[in-house]
Amino acid sequence: MARVALVTGGSRGIGAAISQALKAQGCTVAATYAGNDDAAAKFTSETGIKTYKWNAADYEASKAGIAKVEAELGPIDIVVANAGITRDAPFHKMTPEQWKEVIDTNLTGVFNTIHPVWPGMRERKFGRIVVISSINGQKGQFGQVNYAATKAGDLGVVKSLAQEGARFNITANAVCPGYIATEMVMAVPEKVRESIIGQIPAGRLGEPEEIARCVAFLVADEAGFINGSTISANGAQFFV
C-alpha cells in the first residue's frame, strides 16, 4: 500500500517540491495551503496532487482538515510540517502582532499538524514526521527574533517527539534549509539578499528540490533508526 503523506504549505515553494518528491517516491500526497487558491489549483492541475485548504495556526481547522484527508486518502503515515511565514523586523520595531502571527503559524502550527495524527501513528506502529526548521533557528538572524524562536523551537519538538515515538516506530526529524530560492527569500530586500548570498560558500541560493531530497530520505520506510536528528542543507553557510 502506498504511504499517505501530508505536507503543510505543500503547494508552493519548498513544500511544493517536497509534495512532488514524495509523490515520485510512491506516496499518496495531500498538500495543504492557507490562502492562495489560484496557486493551489495550478499546482493540482500540473501535478495531480490533491490540495486541502486550512490554516495551520488553527487547531480545530487542522483537526477537521486532517480527518477529511484521512477519510479520502486513508490514515496518514507521513507528516511534513512545512508551513511557515516571516514577519521580519528588528526587535525594537517588532510588534506583538508580528511576534504572535509567526509563533502561531510556525510553532503552534507544528503542534496542530502533528497532534491529531499522533494517536493513529501510535496505534498503527508507524510514523514519519519531518519538521522544516531553518538555518536561522540554528544561528539566529538579525530581524528575525520571532522566526528564529520558532525554528529553534522546532528542534526541541522533534528531539522530544523522537523519544516519545521511538518505541512505536515513529521517527521525528528536522531539516534546516539555508537560504533557498523561494518567494520568501525573494521578499527580502535585494541589497540584503545579495549580502546574504555573499555569505554562502556555495555562492548561490539553494533549490527547493535540494530540501525535498532530505525529506524523501528521512521519510522512507528504511529510515527507522534515524530519529531526532537534524539535516542541514545550507551550501556550507553554517555548521552546528
Q: Catalytic site residues?
A: 147
88, 170, 173, 235: which one contacts ligand CAA (CB under 6 A)?
88
d(CA 130, CA 61): 21
Q: Does 54 bind ligand CAA (CB under 6 A)?
A: no
121, 135, 218, 231: which one contacts ligand CAA (CB under 6 A)?
135
Lay out the site mask for ligand CAA across 91-110 (x = CB under 6 A, - = otherwise): --x-----------------
Nearer to ligand CAA, 63 or 193 (CB): 193
d(CA 103, CA 144): 12
d(CA 80, CA 51): 14
Choose the binding region for ligand CAA from 17-25, 98-106, 115-123, 182-190 (rule: CB under 6 A). Answer: 182-190
Q: Does 65 bind ligand CAA (CB under 6 A)?
A: no
Judge contact between 29 and 5, C-beta under 8 A: yes
Judge contact between 28 and 74, C-beta under 8 A: yes
Q: Does 197 bind ligand CAA (CB under 6 A)?
A: no
Binders of ligand CAA: how many residues, by CB under 6 A?
20
Q: Does 67 bind ligand CAA (CB under 6 A)?
A: no
Spell out the residues 6+ positions from residue 15 whose beta carbon is closer than 8 angstroms to its own. 7, 8, 9, 31, 80, 82, 83, 132
36, 44, 141, 230: which one contacts ligand CAA (CB under 6 A)?
141
d(CA 198, CA 194): 6
C-alpha cell at 74: 486513508
Classify strands 170-177 and 230-233 as parallel, antiparallel or unpaired: parallel
Q: Does 235 bind ligand CAA (CB under 6 A)?
A: no
Q: How many CB atoms lie within 10 A of CB 153?
A: 18
189, 198, 201, 203: which one contacts ligand CAA (CB under 6 A)?
189
Q: Which stretch of DSSP H or E encloses residue 28?
A: strand 28-33
Choose the binding region for ligand CAA from 17-25, 29-37, 60-68, 88-96 (rule: CB under 6 A). Answer: 88-96
Interface residues with ligand CAA (CB under 6 A) are 86, 88-90, 93, 134-136, 141-144, 147, 177, 179, 184-185, 188-189, 192
